[in-house]
Structure 1
C-alpha cells in the first residue's frame, strides 16, 4: 500500500489532487483541517502493483541508452524494467505505515491522532511496527506517575464505572507502603455503597476516611488536612454529556487547591474516549489515568 498526504485550500481541490496523483482507486484514510480551517489535509492510499507501464514508447530510439537506477538485475537481463527505481528506505517505511494503519483502523483511532502517530513512527526508523508505535506514543505523549507529595490535592474525576474509587484505594495503599502521610476524602456520598467501598480499604490502611457532600464541606476538610504530604479525593461518576453533572464536579474542583485528574477506562471506543476527555478538559483536567489496562487489547 502506498500512502500520500495532500494539502489544499479546499476539500474539492485536495480530492482532485488525490485523483490526479493516485487515480480513482485511491482510498481516503484521513482528513483534517489545517491553519485554523483555512486549508485541509487529506491522506490517501492505493494498493501498489508489481507491474508498472513502460514509460518509453515503442518507437523510442533503441540505440539511445536508457537511465539505469538501483536494480537487482542487470539491464541486459531485464531491460524492460531497468528504469524502475527501487528505494529500499521508502519501501521499508511503507511497510511499517501499512501495519500501523491496519492496527489503528482496527482500534478506530481518531484521524488526527493517527496522522501524528504515523508520521512520528516513520521518522523513528525503527524496523519493528510495535516498537515504532511505542516510540511514537512516547514522543508525542508524556507518561509520568502521579506525585507522591503535592501541594495540590488530587481529585479523580470521570464517567460512572471508570474505576475512580478503586484507583484512590490503590494510590492510598502505595502511599502508606512508602511511609507517605496521606489523607483520603470522598464526595461520593449519594451512590449506594460509595462510601462503604472506599472505607473498607482505608480501614485496612488505618486511614480515616473524610466525607464531604458540598463544596463548602470539601473546602473545610482541605483546610484540616493541609499538613499531609498527599491528599486524595474520590468523586461520584460524572456524565460528561450532562451540563448539570459537569457543573457539580466543577464546583467541587473549585473548593480549594485541587488538581482534577481524569480516570478513563481502557479498551473502549477511541472516538467516544476523545469526546469524554475533551469534556473534562474544560474542567482543567490535564492528566489522565487509564484503568482496567489488564483487560484491554
Structure 2
C-alpha cells in the first residue's frame, strides 16, 4: 500500500502502474490544494492511495540478478551445510522516517474509512480484518479496538505487509495483554484477613465463596471461617452451612454490626475470614447502605464485586457505580460457560482500572474456577481455548 501524488489522475495512474504494476487497486483518492497567495496561484494535485498484493508484484517484477546455476543432486553426490561464521549477526530491518510517516498517514486513513463504514474498515489488510471481526464479535469498546488495530496495522507494514494469520493473532494477544500490565490480577493473596464478596442477586456469590474457601483450605492449608450477612434468604444460609460442614469451616450469621464485630473477635486466630452478603436489587441504593450497617469496612478487608458475564455491560456499569460507595478492589466474573462473548469483562477492567481475582465457568466446587491473569483473559477473548483461530 502506498500514496502517490500527481498533477492529474492520469499522471498518478502512470506512477502507480510503473511502481505497483497493472494489478494495483485504488483504495482512495482526493484533490489537494496547496500554496496560493490572496486566493491566487493555488496548486491543485491529486493524492491517490493504491495497494497491491505483494505476491503478485513479485511475480510481475523482472529481476536483473544473474541466474544461479543449479547442479542436480545425484545419488552419489553429498550436500553439506556450510557453517555460519560466529561473528556474523542477522540484521533486523528498521523502518525509515519516511516509512513511519507513511504508516501514520495510512492509519489515519483507515480510521476515517472505518468511521464511514460503521466501524468496519474494508481497507485493512485481510489478516487485520480478521482481528477486527474478532474484536467486534467480542463487543470490545470501539476506542479500545481503534488503538489495538492501529498497532496491528503498524506491525503489519513494518513486517513487510506479509505475516501469517497465526502471527497476527500473536500480535493481537500481546496487545490485549499490554493494556493490562499495570492492573493487579490474581486470587486471594492473604495480604488482607477479610474478604468481602458483594454483588446483585443471581450471580453466584455463595457458590463462588465456597470455591475460594475450598481453594484456601485444600491448596494452601489455611484456617478459614465464614461470616454471612445474607439474612434475607434462608436458603442462602443453609447452602453456606452445607459448604461449611463439608470443609469443616465455622460459620457465624450476623444481623447487626455488633454481631459482626463479635464474629471477627471469635475468628481472631483464623488466617482468612470470607464474608457472604445478600443478593439484592442493585438499583436500590438502600442495599448498599444496609451493608454499611452490618459490615465494619474499617477492618483489614478486601471487597470483591461479583458480576455475571451473561449480563449487559450497561448493567455491569450500573452495578459497579452502586457498589463503588463501599470501595471495590477487584472483580470476580462468573458464568463464563454460559456465554461466548467476553468483551464486557475487558471493557470493565479498562474503564475502572480494576483487576480480576477469579473467573468461574460452572457450579462444581472447588473446581470450575481459575485465578485470573492477563494471559488467560486475552486467550479467552481471542478464542484460543475455543479453537476459533481457524474460523
TM-score, normalisation: structure 2: 0.51
Question: 1:25-174 residue pairs with structure 2 within 5 A?
Answer: 57=8, 66=15, 71=20, 73=21, 84=50, 94-95=125-126, 97-118=128-149, 127-128=165-166, 131-141=170-180, 142=183, 144-174=185-215
The 8 Å contact of residues 157 and 164 in structure 1, kept in 2 or not, is answered as yes
Query: Which residue in 2 is equivalent to 1:264?
Result: 307
Q: Which moved more, 1:275-284 or 1:87-96?
A: 87-96
Paired residue for 2:277, among 218, 221, 235?
235
Q: Cα–Cα, structure 1 residues 191 and 58, in superposed 2: closer, same or farther, change >3 Å? A: closer
After superposition, the C-alpha distances for 1:156-175 in whole angstroms (9 at most, x for unaligned) are 10110111100111111111
In structure 2, C-alpha distance between the alignment counterparts of 1:169 and 1:135, rounded to whole Å: 33
- Structure 1 residue 136, shift from structure 2 partner: 3.2
Q: Is the 8 A contact 2:16 2:50 kept in 1?
A: no
Q: For 1:202, what is the secondary structure of its paired residue?
A: helix
Q: Distance in 1 between matches of 2:23 and 2:149?
A: 35
| Cα distance change of structure 1 residues 69 and 200 upon mapping to structure 2, 3 Å threshold | farther
Determine helix, strand or coil for the equivalent of 2:225.
strand
Q: TM-score normalised to the size of structure 1?
A: 0.65
Compare CA radii of gyration and give the structure with the larger one: 2
Q: Number of matched residues?
A: 241
Instruction: Give the whole-Å Cα distance in 2 for the aligned partners of 1:243 and 1:191.
Output: 19
Aligned to 1:291: 334
Specify the alignment match of 1:197 in structure 2: 239
CA contact (8 A) 1:108 1:269 kept: no
Gaps of 5+ in 1: 1-49
Alignment match of 2:254 (pick from 212, 217, 226): 212
The match for 1:32 is none
Q: How far does residue 139 in structure 1 lie from its aligned partner after superposition?
A: 2.4
Q: Which moved further from structure 2: 274-283 or 174-183?
A: 274-283
Closer, same or farther: CA 102–243 of 1 in aligned 2, 3 Å: same
CA contact (8 A) 1:148 1:229 kept: no
Kept after mapping to 1: 8 A contact 2:193/2:273: yes
- Decide whether the 8 Å contact of 2:216 with 2:224 is kept in 1: yes
1-structure distance, mates of 2:326, 2:263: 21
Aligned partner of 2:367 in structure 1 is: none
Q: What CA RMSD, in Å, does the superposition of the two structures yield over aligned residues?
A: 4.0
Structure 2 gaps of 5+ residues are 27-47, 55-102, 111-122, 157-162, 341-391
